[in-house]
Amino acid sequence: MLQSSKFDYLIEQHKNKIFNYSLYMVHNNMDAEDITQEVMIRIWQNINKFNFLAARAWIMRTTHNLCIDYLRHNKNQYQRELSIDDNLSERIEDKRNAVMPDDALDQSMLDKNIKRAVENLQERLKSPFVLYELQGFKYKEISKILDVPLNTVKVNILRARKQLQKDLKIYARAYLK
Amino acid sequence: MQEHISNKIDAKLLDKIIAVAYSDAGLYDRLVVWMKARREPEIKKMLDEYKLTASSVHSLDEKKLPEANLKSVYHKIGKSENPKTVFPFIYSSIHPFFFSKPLVSSAAIGVIIITIVSVLLFYNPKPEHKYTKAEIELAQQQLGESLAIVNKVFQNTEKTLDADVISKHVSKHLNKGLIYLNDYLIGG
């Protein structure tokens, strides 16, 4: 009964976080759903093994590890996607000129492009950035989840912010005009 | 990012600007950036750009996991879907408040400890006696009797002093002494 309730609660609280993190990591709905399901099954299998109060970190660590496994297995495909996205800034500029009128840059368009820009960050920058900025984890928790020193987490989040700004520079300037 | 960094904005200042834009900076850094942004339009522009990105990042919607996935998981683990039990309700009400926020939980624990210590140190309940009318009358009667006994003792003491002590032991010797003095003075 307690085991079942704990599981229900954890799933209810974390299912979307797991799914979104996976989505940012693997760029693919179906794969993200598969990873989310796998994480949920592992939660059930280990429900009595991890500290319930630290479940959040345990769940995200498991999610992160599964995403990394997935990316390794699909390395070729992933590298192909990355090489395409090396030209992200140019693609954003092209899209802006083609789709949006000069004086009517849409916030939703900006959001969409930010999402894409986040997805296209390098994995070592993206993981801490998504966990910190989008999922509300603290530096210490991220350090535990990713198993990297605290300072590395801070530096990578800063680099991710700079990289994101670089990719979105064109949009930001246009929006401010 | 190097192309952004002009003479007026060095790497350290850029880091501070980013931290301020993402609401991640301390009060001092915020003040420094704010002052510099007021003076330098270039810094202000950069801060605004980062702020716009930060607010857009923070407002990104969370995508919801399709329900079919959840059902599939419950099916795989052979468990019936029962997300609304008592425990999660209580836990979800208490846990996020007291355990997910260290500051709140620390404050709550602090308040509880201070309350317990204060109660133990300063709470000194005064016993409240409520006497019946009969008890009050009995007490008055006993008080009267006690005073009567004391009065009697004083009267006896006075009598003893008058009859025995003063007349026999004081007056007698005093008279005797006066007689001797009188005889001596008269020259007997």
Q: Do A44 and B77 touch (CB under 8 A)?
A: yes
Q: Please state the rounded mean pLDDT for residues A76-87.
A: 54
Chain B residues with CB under 8 Å of A18 CB are: 65
Structure tokens, B148: 């009567």
Q: How many residues does chain B have?
A: 188
Chain A residues with CB under 8 Å of B72 CB are: 37
Q: Do B65 and A19 touch (CB under 8 A)?
A: yes
Q: Which residue segments constitute the domains of chain A, with CATH numbers given?
A: 1-86 (1.10.1740.10), 88-177 (1.10.10.10)
pLDDT in tens, A14-41: 999 999 999 999 988 999 999 999 999 9
pLDDT in tens, B61-89: 888 999 888 888 888 888 776 655 555 55
> Is B22 within 8 Å of chain A by CB?
yes
Q: Which of A5, A33, A133 sits opposite B85 (nearest CB)?
A: A5
> Is B91 within 8 Å of chain A by CB?
yes
> Is A176 within 8 Å of chain B by CB?
yes
Q: Which of B53, B76, B83 sits opposite A165 (nearest CB)?
A: B53
CB atoms within 10 A of CB B15: 15
Nearest residue on chain A to B100, alpha-carbon basis: A53
Measured CA distances, A95 to A83, A89, A92, A99, A101 (Å): 18, 10, 5, 6, 11
pTM (whole model) above 0.80: no
Chain B residues with CB under 8 Å of A25 CB are: none
Q: Which of A6, A134, A176 sits opposite B60 (nearest CB)?
A: A134
pLDDT in tens, A124-171: 999 999 999 999 999 999 999 999 999 999 999 999 999 999 888 766
Query: What confidence category does residue B1 fall into, taking pLDDT thresholds of 50, 70 and 90?
Result: very low
Across chain A, mean pLDDT equals: 81
Q: How many Å separate Cα B138 from the centre of its chain?
A: 45
- % residues pLDDT > 90 (chain A): 45
Residue A42 has pLDDT above 90, yes or no: yes
Chain B residues with CB under 8 Å of A21 CB are: none
Chain B residues with CB under 8 Å of A107 CB are: 56
How many whole angstroms separate alpha carbon A81 and alpha carbon A120? 9
Residue B52's pLDDT is 87
- 3-state SS, one letter per residue, for chain B: CHHHCCCCCCHHHHHHHHHHHCCCCCHHHHHHHHHHHHHCHHHHHHHHHHHHHHHHHHCCCCCCCCHHHHHHHHHHHCCCCCCCCHHHHHHHHHHHHHCCCHHHHHHHHHHHHHHHHHHHHHCCCCCCCCCCHHHHHHHHHHHHHHHHHHHHHHHHHHHHHHHHHHHHHHHHHHHHHHHHHHHHHHCC
Q: Please state the rounded mean pLDDT for residues B139-163.
A: 91
How many whole angstroms separate alpha carbon B33 and alpha carbon B13? 8
